[in-house]
Amino acid sequence: YTITPLFLLKGWVFPLTLLGIIPLAERLGFATEQLAFFTGPTVGGLLNATFGNATELIISIHALRSGKLRVVQQSLLGSILSNLLLVLGCAFFSGGVTCGKTEQKFSKSEAVVSSGLLLMAVLGLLPPTVLHYTHSEVHSGKSGLALSRFSSCVMLVAYACYIYFELTTSRRREESNQGRGENVGDADNNEAPDISKWEAIAWLAILTIWISVLSDYLVNAIDGASQAWNIPVAFISVILLPIVGNAAEHASAVMFAMKDKLDLSLGVAIGSSTQMSMFGIPFCVVIGWMMGQPMDLNFHLFETASLLMTVLVVAFLLQDGTSNCLKGLMLFLCYLIVAASFYVHSDQDPDGK
């Protein structure tokens, strides 16, 4: 009899589980959109961003529980990179090609606010990383962790303030439009939901449970898949996992862009990146704190530099409030460079972390 090595079996568990999560993530996005019919546009947009990131957060929590802190960090980072470069790039490109316009316009003010929050997230990641690599911690191995937990709490407060600001300003804008008798809807807003509110809630609960179960198998099979297919764990965590988790968001952003609704498209891509950077990452640090896991904001130099350059490129392209297919192609090609970089990146801290 031929005995198959365990890592080869896990090599097949990983891609099959990954394929199983894709339709569940798509249905999760559908159920969220249906629930948004009953909550209004502002809360609906928040729900879309939250449950759009639910798959990545569930995978991260399972990895955190298993002590795979680098998988947590890299999958969260990969989700941000995927949304900013791949999802946004495809949306810009498809919108520019199909709408027949030289340029598409979007709200520059909202894009600037989101860019500021993304830069704040990078600021939260930089000090712990620099402290570690310059050996300038007051208490080696402890100061960076304490700083990470403090910064995470500050980032969560900042994100809560951002959500409050968005909800209040959106409500005032809607009341102002209604007072002037303006029609804030359009033909698409008159669409009826396909399922009831409670059916949508039930689907969200069921799908979240199923994704959680599959995520446990997925996380446990990462190392085996890396050995079986000779693919770096960093590439799996940063590139493959986020592509699956962002599948529903990717489709939604492209669809909105093709309908010339670029503000909605940016709300999906940039909004999801903002939520993951200002909520997802600090949330996992706090949860790790509760679990007794030393999860921190030291994402290592290579990962932090990749995030910094990505945020700067996206902020530069968004500053004029317009998009075209060339900008989309540039973002997509930047993502290919990042993906190739992580494929040849050895995830090994020279300082032994």
Q: Record the tokens describing residue 241, joined without a space.
A: 């996992």
Neighbours of 173 (CB within 10 A): 12
pTM reported for the whole predicted model: 0.86
The whole-angstrom separation of Cα 260 and Cα 96 is 9
Number of CB atoms found within 10 A of residue 92's CB: 31
pLDDT, tens digit, for every residue of 282-292?
999 999 999 99
The mean per-residue pLDDT over the stretch 52-81 comes to: 89
Tokens 């801290």 label which residue?
Answer: 349
Residue 25 pLDDT > 90:
no
Model confidence band, residue 331 (pLDDT cutoffs 50, 70, 90) = very high
Number of continuous H segments (helices) and E segments (strands) in the chain: 16, 2
Task: Please give the pLDDT value at position 8.
Answer: 54
Positive/negative CA dihedral, 30, 34, 35, 41 = positive
pLDDT at 187: 43
Whether 245 has a pLDDT exceeding 80, the answer reads no
Helix (H, G, I), strand (E, B) or coil at 53: coil
Q: Given this model, what pLDDT does residue 273 score?
A: 92
* Distance (Å, whole) CA 64 – CA 55: 14
Q: How many CB atoms lie within 10 A of CB 136?
A: 11
Angle at CA of residue 60, ends 55 and 65, nearest 5°? 130
334-342 average pLDDT score: 96
> Rounded to 5 degrees, what are φ and ψ at 295?
-70, 125
Which run of H or E residues covers position 140?
none
Q: What is the pLDDT of residues 255-277, one digit of tens each?
A: 888 888 888 888 888 988 999 99
**Cβ–Cβ under 8 Å, residues 200 and 34:** yes
Chain Cα centroid distance, residue 60: 12
DSSP bridge partners of 105: 322
H or E element, residue 298: none
| Residue ranges of domains in the chain | 15-180+196-324
C-alpha angle 96-98-102 in degrees, rounded to nearest 5: 35
DSSP H helices in 135-246: 143-179, 197-220, 222-229, 233-235, 241-245
Residue 56, both tokens = 């990545």
Can you give the pLDDT at residue 218?
Answer: 82
Going by pLDDT thresholds of 50, 70 and 90, the confidence category of residue 138 is confident
Residue 9 has pLDDT above 50, yes or no: yes
Please give the pLDDT value at position 2: 46
* Residue 180 CA: distances (Å) to CA of 163, 172, 183: 26, 12, 9
pLDDT at 226 (0 to 100) = 85
Provide the mean pLDDT of the chain: 84
Give percent of the chain above pLDDT 70: 86
